[in-house]
Amino acid sequence: MTEERKVTSNSFYQFLAEKKLMGSRCKKCQALYLPPHPICQKCYSTDMEWVEMKGSGKLAAFTAISVGPTCTIAEGHDRNNPYLVGIVKMDEGPKICGRIQGIDPRNPDKIKVGTPVKVEFPERVIGSRCYVSFKAQ
């Protein structure tokens, strides 16, 4: 049924809840988008198809957050319990933001851009929505 879902952010998060990281590809010029875009930014076509990402990538940028928004404070994070977020470059090319697990956020100076990561699908949600999460390999 995946093809019938409209290319919207709601669909993206529906897929994520089903443990699928989905991008969109322009059927006309093959440009790949993650997060999925409904209109191709290169050729303006609206003829897009869903593509499941393999889930592997590398850390392109990151940060350990000590002063968080209310939603991560509610998760129990604070100055003494920071959390890691990052921008991951997927093997297929596009980049996406996500929570980064499996590395110690207390020693951020030891973390390297380029660290391989793999998508994981946590059960936890922020607010009413699950979020993209990666685990360092």
Partner 1 sequence: MSRKARKPARGVAIVGAGMSKFGSFPDKNGRDLFVEAFTEMTKSVDKGIDIKDIEALYVGNFSSDLFEGQGHIAPIMADWVGLGPKPATRVEGACGSGGISIREGLIGIASGIYDIVLVSGVEKMSTLPTERVTDTLASAADTIYEGCCGFTFPGLYAAMATAYMAKYGATVEDFMRVGIKNHKNGALNPKAQFNKSIRDLMNARIEKAKQKGDPTPNWHDELDFLKDPQANPIVAWPMRLFDCSPITDGAACLLLVAEDLAKNFTDKPVYIIGSGQASDHALHEREDMTTLLSAKIAAKEAYEMSGVTPKDIQIAEVHDCFTIAELVAIEDLGFFKPGEGPRATREGLTAREGAKPINTSGGLKSKGHPVGASGVGQAIEIWHQMRGTAGPRQVPGKDIRLALTHNVGATGGTCVVHIYERR
**Residues of this chain that bind partner 1 (CB under 8 A):** 9, 35, 60-73, 77, 79, 82-83, 85-87, 94-99, 108-109, 112-114, 126, 129, 131-133
Looking at beta carbons only, is 3 or 80 nearer to partner 1?
80
CB 95 within 8 A of CB 132: no
Helix (H) or strand (E) holding 11: helix 9-17
Shortest distance, position 22 Cβ to partner 1, whole Å: 13
Report the residue number, 28 or 87, with the smaller CB distance to partner 1: 87
Q: Which residues pair with 24 in a beta bridge?
A: 33, 50
Q: How far apart are CA 77 and CA 7, in angstroms?
A: 33
Q: Smaller CB distance to partner 1: residue 15 or 83?
A: 83
